[in-house]
Structures are given as C-alpha cells and as structure tokens.
Structure 1
Amino acid sequence: MGITVKQKRQAGAVQVAAAADDRDRVRLVAGPGTGKSYTIEERVVRLLNENADPKSVAAVSFTRASSQDLEKRVQAACERSNHGEAHIAVTTLHSLALRTLRAAGALAAYPVDPLVLDEWELTKLFDPEFARRANIGTVRRRREIREDHEAFWSTGQHTQRPAQRPPDPPISDAERVAFRAFHGPRTQLYACVLPGEIVQKCVQMLDAGTLDPIELLGIEHLIVDEFQDLNPMDLRFVYGLAELGATLFVAGDDDQSLYSFRYADPSGIQEFPDQFEVAGSHVLQHCFRCTPAVLASADALITQNAAPKRIPKDLVSLYADSEPRVNGTIQCWRYGSAAEEATFVALSCRRLIDAGMDPREIMVLVSNARALQWQLSAAFDKLDVPFEPPRETAFRDTDVGRAVMTVARIVSDRDDYVALRTLLELRSGVGIVTATAIADATIEHDLNYHDIFYEALPEDVFSPRAETALDQAREVCEVLLEWSSDDAVEDRAEALDHVIAMILGADATSSWRDEVEIVPAGTTIAELARFLSSEKDDERASILSAIHARLGNDLSPEESLPNRVRVMTMHGAKGLSATVVLIPGLEEQILPGETRARYPGQVLEAARMLYVSITRARLACLLSYANRRFINGQSTPHQASRFASHLGVRFSPGPEGVSTEWAGDAVRVSKDL
C-alpha cells in the first residue's frame, strides 16, 4: 500500500497553501522529495484559474533538462485542470534572457541566432584562436583570461572561481583588453555566446533603462525553480523583472546548492525575505522519496555541516507511518583496497539484479570519476553487470562523436556556424594557424561562414593552405545539402560512414553505430543532433521518450533509456532517484578532496553534495571507503572522509557484497515504495 491517502492529503494541503499564497513575492523551500514540482504545478493552475493569460506566465529552471521536465509536468497539470489549451513556457533563465534580447532587436550583431559554446567548443575552438591572436603562451593562461570574463558576467566582478588558486600573475588590464577585442568579432563571426554573457547583457540594459522584458514579452508572473543555483547576475535579472511589476514565486533548497563553480550562491534563497518588504515563505517538510533511515543519516550530515544562514528544516519521511512501515537501510563499510571496494559495489549490483531489481533502480554515485571509474568498470565487466558510465566520458567529446554530432547539426541547421567551424577543427592537417587565418580573413573582408562554406570563394582572400582546408570542408557540406533533418538515421547510415571518413579518415567510420544504438529505429537526423547535444541523463531520457512517442511507442522517459546500472557523478545525479544508491570513495582525499579542504565554504558544499547523493536513495544507501587506492599509478594510503563520522552510522569491515538474502528482501520491500 505504501504512503496512505491520508498522508498524501496532509502533505498536499501544505503544498496547495504555498501555491495559493496571493502575495506578489513568495519563497518555497523544498527539501529532497517533498513535492516542489507539484507545488509549482499548482501555482500555475491557480494563476490560470484566476484568468491569467497563459502567455503572461513564465517559468524558468536551472538546466535545460530540468526545464524540459518541469514543462511536461506543468502541461500535464494544465490538462488535468481543464486548461489543456494553455501552453506555459518553461525555459532556462539564459533562454529567457535570449528571448528578451531577440524581442528588443539587440541580437542584430549576430548573423543568425547565437548558440552557447559547450566546454569542448570553448577549449578546442575559442581558446586556441584567442591564444593565437593575442599571443597567449599556455593553455592554462588562456583559460584563466576567459574565466576572468565569465566571472564578471556571472557576478559583476573580476574574480577567480571558488576553490581555485588565483591566477599567477593576476590577469592584467592589457589581457582583458585583448580578450574583449577578440571576443566581440569572434562571437559575431561564429554566431555564438559564452556562458553567462547573455544574462549580463540583459542586466546591463535593464540598469540603463533601455530594456523592459515585461513590455516586450508580456510577462506578469515569473516562477523560478532551483533558485539556490542562481548566480548574482541571474538574481539581478530576476529582481529586475520583479521591480518592473512581475509577481515572483521562487522555489529551491539551500541544502542542495552545488554549483559554486558556476558562481551559484545559496544566499539568494536564504535572504529572499530580506530582499522584499512583504514576502511569503513556506517550507515543505513531508518527504515522499526517502525512507526514515536514509533521511536520518542525510539530516545528521547536513546539520553538522550547516552554512551560517541555512534555512531550518524538519524533514519527515512519510514512510515512517506508511502501511506497511518501511524503515529503509543505511550501510557503511570500509575496505583495505579500492579493488575490494569495487568488487563490493559490482557484486552488490549483481545480486540485486539477480534478485529481480531493475538495473536502472540502482545508482552508483562518485565524486571523482577519474579516481574511481576505472576500477569500478573493471569490476562491473568481470561480473557482467550492465552499466552506464558517467557522462564525463561522453561519446560526443571523442573525435568520432563530435563528427557525428556536427554532421547532424549541419543537416538540421545549415547556418550552424559553430558546427561549420568544428568541421575545420576535426579535419586532419587543419591546424590552429590555418583556422585562425580563415577566421581573420573572413572578418577582414566582411564575409560570413555561410558565404565561405556554401558560396563561391572570393579570389585573393584566403591563402592556398586555407583554400585547401575550406574546399575539403565544403565537399562535406555539399554532400549534406542532399540530406534532410527528417531523414531516418538508419537510412543515412552508409552515407554517414562516408562523410565521417571524409572528415576523420576511413578508420573512424563504424565505431559510431555502437554508440548510438540506444536511439530507436526511425530516429531522425534532427533528433539525433538533440540527443547527442544533451548533457544529462534525464535530458537524454526526455528526448528518447519524445522520439518513442512520435513513433507510437508508449514508453516513459525512464523506460526509454537502456536498462543498466547508472554510474554517475554526484553533480549529475541531482534531480534523480533510485531504489538503492551506492556511494564508494568516501575518503578525505576525494571528498572533500585536497583542493576543497583549503576553503571552508567549499567543504560545506562538498557536504551538500554528499547530502544530495544520499537523498537520491528511496530504500537504501550503501556508503564505503578504501584505505588504499591507486592514484597516478601508485598505491596511495587514504583516510576516511571527515563526513564519515557525521552520518550517524558506524563503519565496519565490509563484506564481499550484499547478501543474496538482503538483496531479495530489498526487492520485496521496494514494492511498498
């Protein structure tokens, strides 16, 4: 039976009360599994019931994946409430800012709508060209100069990322001038933007009184999810909309603020009532996800590592009074070596699967994939455990993966200038000198990338070497002109082999097929482009589910992904859950780790990262550490993390794996969740 109707009704009353708060500024603090998304859904329905124009309601979330998930939930809630015709736009804050600038005509400098560069594009395309143009000697220095500007766009100040050593020497005024001189023309040439700059541009125009998103977009009600993950510039943008007259409903949890490397600051949600004279504040405390044992351990951890302004919470697991009561399990184990620990993880997964547990209901979370993944992978392979590796080792960041994604992007949008530039990068023999010379000549002669890839090349503009590189890339584009974004991937498989051979050479052709076997037959080139561009597991699931729905296959997002144990980074698991979660590597050298340990604020964030990881578990969380681990080819002694003594559970010598009896009980009990 699980959670009773009475319990759901009691918890739901708190959610509905928060959604119905009629003040113009409302904060919702929602711990893990307490129904934050449902409350946002109810907030939207309430606005529609009060005759708000659907176009006047805007909702934003932190990532593309979370915004897509929230949009589906909101749409389903609208349909249940006789508002099926309403469409509520749910986007990222960056997308809202981009939409605002587009409506204001402030993107005229770009030949087409700009794209945000991903990490591969920043490090392989943008940074090397900047270094070449500005004569920057090292990879580290060119990254530091770029990050100095990203810091300014995110915070309004030139500062280093948290837990990083300051640049040595400090970034000079001359280096900043050189970056700005390069950045403007290059981003216009490639029709791209860097992370953070679009929101900062909006704030700059808001402060100058030259931009009114309320008037341009008709926004009257703004709902902001994952509010704890906003950086100072994001907050200024949101508050600017509120000052112009939009009502503001924000939701989040300061205990789940993990993105300081993106300059996120939990003080935004903590100090929200101080920002506005009259603000409603609500705290959701009924946890639908975690069993009592799991929640108690997580709570013990976070209360002993509380930030100074932490919002008090008194979370209660609804399974404490469910029918039947399900207490759940926390297990804490220590091992002599990382190999023994990896065997425990793999054998435990194997026994759970053999007992009947769906592999995707098992999650293995790591804080340092580089240190842990190789031994985990070997142990999984030895025991034939199906697993999905962390996305840090993504296929799309290999040469073949990037080539397949680039082809799919060009077919989907022939004016994807970043993808066209990537063609040059992937071609063997086209170095940074040639690529930079092509870009410089294109700017100097007032051309654009459409001109040089699809039209006849002008005479006396490019060097012979540059012309050869362009001719080879243009041959690829000429082949792709015959394709359509609606073509099925399998219908173009042989042709794709040929194109990849044109880009990378014949040896690279066939390996892409195994990597994209996850997409169903009938997937289009455009859908493949979106799938390969996705960064998070839940975003990939959403895309695959949409593909299956178009094909008439009734599969949920979870069912559309391969049935494998999910091995993920702690950051990547945010927003997800599993019946059983295993967390290996709970060692001081890994979590918090040597770098974080020097910064008290980063130690607290590491504790929050472990808190979020534990609270992904519904039934059981199994934590472990090893006394020795191979690091850089050497057996290195490790100590238990400082957080190991904050969990309320004693660490004991670990078994080879969970017992078959425990695995069977876990499968049986999980049916009551």
Structure 2
Amino acid sequence: MGEPSAIPEPSPLSRPGTAKDVFADLNERQRAAVEHGVADGSHRGPLLVIAGAGTGKTKTLASRVARLVQTGADPHRILLLTFARRAAGEMEQRVGRMLHRLLGYGTTQAPPHFPWCGTFHSVGARLLRDYADRIGLAPNFTILDRSDAEDLMGIVRQELGLAETVERFPLKGSCLAIYSRVVNSQSRLDQVLQTHYPWCFAAHDGLKKLFKAYAQAKHQQQVLDYDDLLLYWSHMMMDAGIAADVRQRFDHVLIDEYQDTNRLQGSIVLGLKPQGENLTVVGDDAQAIYSFRAADVGNILEFPDQFTPPARIVALEQNYRSTQPILAASNAVIGLSKKRHAKDLWSNQASSELPRITAMPDEASQAQWVADQVLLRREEGIRLIKQAVLFRTSSHSAPLELELTRRNIPFRKFGGLKFLESTHIKDVLSILRWAQNPRGRLAGFRVSQLLAGFGPVSAGKLLDEMEREADPMTAIRGFTPPKAASEEFAKLAGLIESMSQQSEWPGDLERAIEWYQPHLERMHDDAEVRLADLEQMARIAQGYSSRERFLTELTLDPPEASSDESGAPHLDEDYLILSTIHSAKGQEWNAVYVLNVVDGCMPSDMATGREEDIEEERRLLYVAMTRAKHHLALITPQRFYVRQQRRGGDSYINATLTRFIPGKVARLFEQVAPMSARGDTRVSSHVPTVDVGAKLRAMWD
C-alpha cells in the first residue's frame, strides 16, 4: 500500500548562491521532500515522508524547515513536534546552522528561534496554560510525575476500599498502566483489559470506578498527570472556537517519528490540520516497534487517506549506512509484511560479504562464539564500541554477560533492567541467601515482606526472635505472623527450614522460584516477562556446582555479572555494546550480532496471539538488521533449556530459525552449519566413530 509519488524536477532555489552549500548534497528524493509545495509559494497539501533506515531522515526534516523559513515562513509560527527533548534541541540547532549559512548571517548573529519546537507533552503543557481559563483549569496547575501519579492512584484505590476486596485487585502501578493505555489508545476499558491485561478483567467494574475517582481527585487538586497533557489538548481541539484559535497560531506543523504516535496524538494532529494544509509528517512504518507504549502503526499507514485529495508520499530509499547485501536481506524480511508503505532501500556501498546466519548447538555456544567474533573483529581494526550485540529481551543476554566477564571483555548494556539487579531476581537470590544463612537479616527482611500482610514491623520482630534463639529455625517455627499472612508464612517457613538443612542444587533454585511465582504474579503486572528472567537464571545456575558457589561468585563480582560494565574500563579502553532492539533504534554499528533469532524468541512466544503482534515482531527483526553497517550475524541456538513450572520438569527444546526468514529470504544470507564456539564443525551427517547402538543391541545376541 502507499506507493510513493513520482519525483518531479526540483525547482530552483530562490538564492542559489547561498543555498547550494546547504542543499547541494541532498539526493533526489530528499530534495523532493524539502521542495514540496515551495515552488509556487503555497506550501500547501499534506506530505508524508517515509524515511527508511539510514536514509537521512533528520537531515531532510531540518532542511525542509530551513527551506520554509528561507521562503518566508515565520519561525514563531512553525510547530515542530518530536518525541524527546534532546531530539527537539538537536533539530533546532541543526536548522539554525543551516539558516546561518542559507541567509548569510554573521558569525555573531543568533539564528532564528523556534519557540514551538518540542515534544508533544511539552507543547501540550504550554497550550493548556494558555487556554486554562477556557477549559476549566487553574493557570497554576501542576503536573504529576509517574511516581506521584502512582501514589495518587494508590490513595484513591485505598479510599475506595479496593485494596480490601476478597479477590486480588491490581496494584497502583498496574492500575496506572491500564489507565494510561486506555487514554492513549482511545480504546474502551474492556477492550484494553481483554487484549493487554486479561488477568485484570475481573476487576473491570472496580477499575472503572477507580479511574473516575482518580480523575475527580486530580480535578479537585488541580493537577494533571503525564497522559492528561495530551488528553486535555485533544479535548480542547474538539471545541470549535478554541480549535480555530489554536490553528491560527501555526502556519506549518511538522512531526518527526510519526510511526511512534498513538491514537490520541493522531487525533491532535488532525485537530491541528484537519485538511492537511502545510502538514508534514516523517517516519517509517517498518520501524514501528513501540506498541507496548500504545503507539499505533495505523497512524502512519492510514495517514495519506485521511485527506482529500490524499497526502503526497515521498519515500527516502537511498541508505547511507549499510552495505547492499545487508539491505537486500533486510528488504526481503520486511517485504513479507502484509501492510506497509512500499519502499526498497539501496546503497552505493557494494560488498561481497553476505549477512550471516550462524547455527549454534545451544546458548552457551552462542555466547562463546559471539565473544570470539567480537575479539576477532577487534583484531581486524573494529573497536569494541563499534560493535553491538542485540537481543529481543533483556534476559537473553545473561549467558553472554557472564562469558564476557570471564574473558575480561568490557561491555555496557542498554535497555531493560540490569539482570541481577532487577527486583524479582534479587527477591529469589534473597531466598537462597536466607536459606544459606538464616541469620542474614537483610535477606530475611526482604523475603518475609514478600508476603501480603507482612510488613516491616512484623519482619523486624521475626528477625529479632531468630537472632535470640540458638537455632534460628526454632524461632521461625514458633513465630506468630499477622493473621492475613499466616498461611503463606507457613509455606515460607517450611521452604527455608528445608533448604537450610539440606541443599539440593540446582533444585533449591527451582523450589525457590516455584514458591515465589504466585507472589510475583500478585506484585507485578508483567509477571510473565519477569518469570522469563527467572527461567534464564535457572539456566545459568546449571553451570555452578553448589548453592554456595553460585551465591558466592555472583556476590563477589555483581557489576560484571549483572549489568552495564564488565569492570571499569581504563581510559585507553573501549567497551562492547549490549542492547535490546528497542533501545538500539536510531543507532548504528560496524558489526552487529543478533542473538536468538529463532521462533519463541523472535517472534516472542508471548507475542503470537494476534496478527498485529506478529507483524511488530517482524519489524523488530528488521530494525535489528538495519543497525549494521558492514557485518551482520544472526545467531540461532538449536537447543534451549526450559525450566518447567513443576519441579523436576527440566527439559531442552529444539529451536528453529525464525519464521520471518523463510527459504526464499534465507538464500540472501551465508548460512553456517551448527558449530561449537571454537569453530569445530558439528554437522549431524558426520560418520560416527563408534556405533554405540550396535554394541547395545549386540548385548542381547
């Protein structure tokens, strides 16, 4: 869908002598976007710029703004919306530098200021203050940050008695997340619960009551939360008088990263420019990967047809980042999408090296192979910081983190929680530590408060009694917990006593996770994701001989084993980048390694319920692949260790190459047979040196 329009001959710039320095290096498509509607001075008609990965999106958008100002647009009447304050600042600086050269300003003369360059939320806050008296707000309203909003939601939840219901009611953080999803997606509460929070569906009526009371509390206190900045702005644009006034303030509206807008932001854009006049949006539907933040790829896919006549589409296809073989494979992956704006990235960078699909026996071999390759590329002259390892979920890098640590390869990790420092990992480690040393107050204090109804006072009393007793287990057995926690406390006491008397490794970890899982589900709305982290920890535990050894090694060197640096790099050293794919968007590296490119990881087994989820997973792989400039490797471990929920159910599963790379796409890659980490080929077709089966059968002759 959405074929790009033909590219007309570019019109001459009004000041060729100075403009040449600024616009001369634009390619044909970039210039078409910059010149849209400028030739006749009208600047009218909506424009959609589909900016493929590495095609100079920021340069094109900044050039268009500079071109508009050059032809008479007032910088004070240009609204430029971005998704981050840093992006807004960089955009304004870039446009300013262009205008300095374009308009011949002296070196001491300040470039034009763009007062309406900012994020959706910052611009919304300014407009709400300007119109506060017309929309029922006090001009001095305050804005709640995320933590304050959660606390207010918690207070209202408590006042309504929802915390005292017989059935489990979502905690304040989950309630705010649900509220935010409803607001930003412009969906009904029941739809949001059914699709994104099915475990909370029974609380539908209570949540509806809670959200109404929450809105009332904010109104009474004259406070707005983060989502209200958009919600109020959207409703403000529904009033004909106010909407006309706001539209009159802005001659031009330009929006960056339009694929990341949600339905609420889309309605604001249409409210600002209902006919699409002087409206430019820039983005790439193939890089829409933030649906978990309620972003809706439908905004950019449907944009052209929201106007009459339809918006003009200019697709930027010349890529300045990657080699042609990498782009050919990336194009093939995204080309299987069912709904997309057509484009075909190409590059002048020829190369004989194809992107690689490397099959490995298991995750341990994957980690070793990646470490080997990273060092090999380093010897070839590619610094560590110019290399990146990408993964779908933060926990997927855990075996690699430990391998890099053992081999003294410094790294920094971006995206997700630090593995061994995240709350749920620390909770389970504390269970093990308390069983290992029942007099350990820190571990006991943390673990005992995992029980509902067991607060810090009760925890302190328990630990004091354990400290006084010669045998701490005597105190645990004789302790009288709060009534609300009595049943669960008995289970915890039995677990700690049993594990403290006799350790069965790694069975201890499995038992701890089994006990912890219902508490995890009670405390966290993203319990399934966190449980995957715990399964990853169980996998890692297989490499340690005992509970004591496991806890000791992780405790002695926690930064290296858990997080963003393997030791503090010296001033003359660099470090490898580890990143989730979400955090890698917008970045580029000379060499990129993508972990676990198999079904179950990519797509995630938790994102296969709906077609739109599958399509976003495809876009995630595309984003990962298009981060690479010269070298790209997709790694497919053929076996995964899976911890079953019931004790004793450990197993390995056979993994297959992701469904996003079928046979016709796989031909664009160099495919390497299953290998060990050190490069020894292990192909199943090798002739066995010993026919053990024959010997066993011969036993019965």
Shorter-normalised TM range? 0.5 to 0.7
**8 Å contact 1:61–1:225 — kept in the other structure?**
yes
Q: 1:333·1:653 contact (CA, 8 Å) conserved in 2?
A: yes
Trace 1:274-673 onto structure 2 (pairs within 5 A). 274-278=305-309, 279-304=311-336, 306-308=337-339, 310-320=340-350, 326-370=351-395, 372-393=396-417, 563-632=574-643, 634-640=650-656, 641-645=658-662, 646-647=665-666, 648-649=668-669, 651-655=671-675
Paired residues in the alignment total 495
Q: Which of 160, 174, 180 matches 1:150?
A: 180
CA separation of 1:349 and 1:284: change in aligned 2, threshold 3 A: same
In the TM superposition, what is the alpha-carbon distance from 1:612 to its structure 2 partner? 0.7
Residue-by-residue CA offset, 1:310-329 (whole Å, 9 max, x unaligned):
11112211213xxxxx4554
Asked if the contact 2:360/2:638 (under 8 Å) is kept, the reply is yes
Are the equivalent residues in 2 in contact too, given 1:348–1:658 (CA < 8 A)? Answer: no
1:202–1:561 Cα change, 3 Å? farther
Secondary structure of the 2:33 match is: helix
Distance 1:107 1:579 in 2: 54
Give the direction of change, closer, same or farther, for the CA distance of 1:651–1:517 in structure 2 (3 Å limit): closer
Deviation at 1:273, TM superposition (A): 2.1
Give identity over the alignment, percent: 23
Match of 1:90 in 2: 117
Query: Per the alignment, in what secondary structure is the counterpart of residue 592 of structure 1?
Result: coil
- TM-score, normalising length: structure 1: 0.66
1:139 positional shift: 6.4
Q: Distance in 2 between matches of 1:368 and 1:40?
A: 32
CA 75–656 in structure 1, closer or farther in 2 if over 3 Å, else same: farther
- Give the gaps of 5 or more residues in structure 2: 1-19, 38-43, 424-445, 456-557, 566-570, 645-649, 680-701
2:36 to 11, 21, 25: 21
Cα 1:271–1:581 change in 2 (3 A) is same
Deviations 1:56-108 (A, max 9, x none): 11211234454344344333333332365212343221222122112212695
**For each residue in 1:230-256, what CA deviation from the matched residue of structure 2 results, as whole angstroms up to 9, or x when unmatched?**
111111101111138862111111111
**Does the C-alpha gap of structure 1 residues 251 and 658 become closer, same or farther in structure 2, counting only changes over 3 Å?**
farther
Separation in 1, partners of 2:29, 2:415: 37
Change (3 A) 1:348 1:188: farther
Task: Say if 2:384 and 2:575, in contact at 8 Å, map to a contact too.
Answer: yes
Structure 1 unpaired stretches of 5+:
321-325, 400-425, 436-510, 519-559, 660-673
Whether the 8 Å contact between 1:147 and 1:160 is mirrored in structure 2 is no
Bigger mean CA deviation after superposition, 596-605 or 171-180: 171-180
Aligned pair in 2 of structure 1 residues 216, 313: CA closer, same or farther (>3 Å)? closer
**Quick one: distance in 2 between partners of 1:110 and 1:129?**
25
- Say if 1:161 and 1:97 are closer, same or farther in 2 by CA, change over 3 A: farther
State whether residues 363 and 637 of structure 2, in contact with CA within 8 Å, keep that contact through their aligned partners in structure 1.
yes
Matched, 1:224 2:255: yes
Tell me which residue corresponds to 1:114: 143
Q: Deviations over 1:194-218 (max 9, x none)?
A: 4x33212111121133634854993
Q: Which residue type is aligned with residue 643 of structure 1? A: F
Q: Deviations over 1:316-350 (max 9, x none)?
A: 11213xxxxx4554111111110110111122112
Task: Give the conservation status (yes or no) of the 8 Å contact 2:361–2:674.
Answer: no
Is 1:40–2:67 an aligned residue pair? no
Counterpart CA distance in 2 for 1:351 and 1:188 is: 63
RMSD over aligned CA atoms reads 3.9
Aligned pairs for 1:225-304 (under 5 A) are 225-243=256-274, 247-278=278-309, 279-304=311-336
**2: CA distance between counterparts of 1:575 and 1:45?**
23
- Which gives a bigger RCO, structure 1 or 2 (Cα 8 Å, sep 6+)? 1
Supply the AA of the counterpart residue of 2:364: A
Deviates more, 1:604-613 or 1:267-276: 267-276
Cα distance in 2, alignment partners of residues 58 and 166 from structure 1: 39
Deviation at 1:143, TM superposition (A): 5.2
Aligned to 2:158: 132
Q: Quick check: 1:54–1:86 contact (8 Å CA) kept in 2?
A: yes
Contact 2:193 2:200 in 1 (8 A): no
Q: Distance in 2 between matches of 1:103 and 1:293?
A: 53
Mapping of 1:177-188 within 5 angstroms? 177-185=209-217
Decide whether aligned partners of structure 1 residues 65 and 644 sit closer, same or farther in structure 2, where only a CA change above 3 A counts.
farther
Are the counterparts in 2 of residues 348 and 657 from structure 1 also a CA contact under 8 Å? no
Listed one character per residue, the Cα deviations across residues 622-642 of structure 1 (whole Å, up to 9, x for unaligned) are 110212234448553141221
**Alpha-carbon spacing, 1:11–1:264, altered in 2? closer, same or farther (3 Å):** same
TM-score of the aligned structures, taking structure 2 as reference length: 0.63
Deviation at 1:140, TM superposition (A): 4.0
Is the deviation greater in 563-572 or in 104-113? 104-113
| Structure-2 change in CA distance of 1:245 and 1:598 (3 Å) | closer
Question: Which has the larger Rg?
Answer: 2
